[in-house]
Structure 1
Amino acid sequence: MPVSALVRTRNRTDSDRTQVARATDSPRYGTAWNRAVRHGGSAVALLCTALLVAGCGQQDDASSIVRTTTNIAGAGVVGLERDTSQACPLPSAPDPSNGKTRTVTHAAGTSEVPADPQRVVVLSTSALDAACAVGLWERVVGAVPIDGPRSQPMYLGYGVLKIPTVGSAAQPDLEQIAALHPDLIIGDIPGGPGGFAALQAIAPTVLADPESGWQAEFGTLAAGLSRSNAAATALENYHTEARETGNALAASQTQASVIRFTAEQDQVQGSNSFAGQILADVGVQRPTAQRGTSFDVTEQDLIKVEGDIIYVIFAGESGEEHGKKVLRGDAWKDLGGASDKRVFAVEDTVWHGDGLTAARALLADLHSSLNGFVTD
């Protein structure tokens, strides 16, 4: 039977207490996230800051939402039962235009895009995230899916699950895309046959470079959507929210460690990672060993994972299986963050994400966990 537990706030300035429910180890990380209420027994509503994340078009009754945490190999899960009602704002106004099209320069060249596109195909999660962030997700008529039990990331909510899929991110299906009659295609540079030229033959196409950094990528995708002004405002609001989050949590007094487990790799997420950049925006400090770029660790040098709090990311089921073995090992249990019960499992598509909506979801995760710890 599930065991209820406390996740207590341990702010170095003011001590608050947050109650959540805890369930026994989940056999599947995805299942734990999608079905925690059914499998987790009784749940206790959070008394701390509400999670402010995710979900295009889902009408949630905020008073009925119960936020829970499931225990995975000793780590309390953050981000269960996100409020999906406010992630995607109302549609934003298009940028001013003197005609029906505008010229956009992007990673693959130059394109003439509609001044206000109505039927959009997205070829990456970052593109769907961008459409959500400027309020145009309901104009998305096709999207490449992600791996896992859901076709799209959970932090974007339920509405996006109704969007038809078009092949895969590695190989978009050109026939399926053409059949949707899009007036705009946005995404990352594809690896499928024909590349940019084949897509451009179907509809005006704007492709971003994921290596340019998530904010620059968001700017390119928003320009393709003719929403550069809306994107600039959204980014400004994000930075304000990040600063306010840091101040509210006394973030500069905490050193947070972040590690991501794949089937075969244990990688500390450094300053160049998505999570590392958001933590820096909030003002969260990093352990000395983690103040550079991302790097791999082994069981022999897990000391580099040490921190006041440790966030763990599982990349799919295979990443969870491998990560749980590490978390149950003696070397991990010797870490101060583990023995102090300050280890939290976070959602891969958020903390290893690539977009403004994911960044806002990560801020909400910090609200509910940075000054907390899990007890039996």
Structure 2
Amino acid sequence: MSFHHVLRAGLLTLALALSAPVMARDITHAMGTASVPDHPLRVVTLTNEATEDMVALGIVPVGAARSANSDPWYDYLQTDLADTVVVGEELAPDLEAIAVLQPDLILGNKRRHEKIYDQLAAIAPTVMADTIQGTWKQNMALYADAAGAADKGQALLDAYAARVASIRTGLGDHATDEISVIRFLAGQSYAYYPASFSGAILSDIGFARPVAQQAEGLAGLITKERIGELAADRILHFTYETGDGQADSEAQSWQAEALWQNLEAAKAGHVYAVSDAVWATAGGIMAANFALDDIEKIYDLPASR
């Protein structure tokens, strides 16, 4: 082999080495410890929470699980994820599609993906948060750290906290209002508790919750006979509609009930329909900020972003 060929081969090897992510950090997560690159180049996200956290950090996943009840992403993610490959659903990731993408980091959630962790970890270093919904800030910090963007992640969380503080100040005497939350699905409805994503946002602001919505867990099934338990200063409701109209019908039938119409919040016009994606299913920092936008509009506060 000539000197020039040797030199060219050496330069190519060096270029590849310099472009490849370096395995340099151990991240402790819900399933153990994973050795991850300093700055992963090809990230796959298996929850919408992780997907929008990465987008907020300026990291576009090469693959992501489909946003719930969407084709394939929530509207506010469509542009950023134009070149991102769908790798199945949150509850059913497509392992083959993930492997084809040759990721150097996979982000998932133990509650969703514990049973396939070993298979995922065999494809690429995999980091999992422990649970989902109300722990979104802890999860955001974990994902940002795994992606080599801990400082930027903390800056985003600090900005969220500053918005919360601004809203709390702007609310004045309304800062301790009691807020009731209900979600309508096809044939059933749920009251949402403080441990849920929506509950965590409301708790951050300092809002109180009805006694019946101070239970453990994320949410509890509620029937029309218990509409009185929704009594509060304001009521937020969201609907998980899949396209057959049944969830919308459920929402309409509840609000047509005399018990609902007799609620003080209903009589005062303090009942608000908000996005199900934002308040229930998206789960990340982008959704959290959209939820704060809603609170500012509901209380006629100046926009803080």
TM range (shorter): 0.7 to 0.9
Task: Indicate conservation of the 8 Å contact 1:124/1:144, yes or no.
Answer: yes
1:239 is matched with 161
2:238 is matched with 313
1:66 is matched with none
How far apart, CA to CA, are the structure 2 residues paired with 1:174 and 1:253? 46
* Structure 2 residue 302 is matched with structure 1 residue 364: no
Q: Give the partner amino acid of 1:324.
A: Q
* Structure 2 residue 177 is matched with structure 1 residue 254: yes
Task: Please tell me whether Structure 1 or Structure 2 has the larger radius of gyration of its CA atoms.
Answer: 2
How far apart, CA to CA, are the structure 1 residues paired with 2:72 and 2:299? 30
Greater relative contact order, per chain length (Cα 8 Å cut-off, separation 6+): 1
How far apart, CA to CA, are the structure 2 residues paired with 1:334 and 1:193? 45
Task: Indicate conservation of the 8 Å contact 1:188/1:208, yes or no.
Answer: yes
How far apart, CA to CA, are the structure 2 residues paired with 1:329 and 1:289? 20
Task: Indicate conservation of the 8 Å contact 1:171/1:193, yes or no.
Answer: no
Q: Unpaired segments of 5 or more residues in structure 1?
A: 1-98
> TM-score, length-normalised on structure 1?
0.67
Cα RMSD after superposing both structures: 2.3
* Structure 2 residue 52 is matched with structure 1 residue 124: no
Q: 1:282 aligns with which of 205, 223, 230?
A: 205
Task: Indicate conservation of the 8 Å contact 1:189/1:207, yes or no.
Answer: yes
Aligned residues: 272
Q: Unpaired segments of 5 or more residues in structure 2?
A: 1-21
Q: Give the partner amino acid of 1:364.
A: D
339-348 or 192-201, larger mean C-alpha shift: 192-201
Q: Deviations over 1:84-142 (max 9, x none)?
A: xxxxxxxxxxxxxxx65211111112111110111111111111022023221x2x111
Q: Deviations over 1:278-325 (max 9, x none)?
A: 112112233344344443321111011122221101112343231221
1:155–1:311: structure 2 CA closer, same or farther, 3 Å change rule? farther
How far apart, CA to CA, are the structure 2 residues paired with 1:113 and 1:330? 57
Task: Indicate conservation of the 8 Å contact 1:249/1:371, yes or no.
Answer: no
Task: Indicate conservation of the 8 Å contact 1:309/1:370, yes or no.
Answer: no
Equivalent pairs: percent with the same residue?
Answer: 31
Q: 1:331 aligns with which of 247, 252, 259?
A: 259
Pairwise mapping of residues 185-196 of structure 1 onto structure 2 (< 5 A)?
185-189=106-110, 195-196=116-117
Pairwise mapping of residues 1-376 of structure 1 onto structure 2 (< 5 A)?
100-136=23-59, 138=60, 140-156=61-77, 158-189=79-110, 195-211=116-132, 213-250=135-172, 251-252=174-175, 254-293=177-216, 294-317=219-242, 318-352=246-280, 353-371=282-300
> TM-score, length-normalised on structure 2?
0.81
Q: Write 1 or 2 for the structure with the bigger share of helix.
A: 2
Runs of 4+ aligned structure 1 residues displaced above 4 Å come to: 190-194
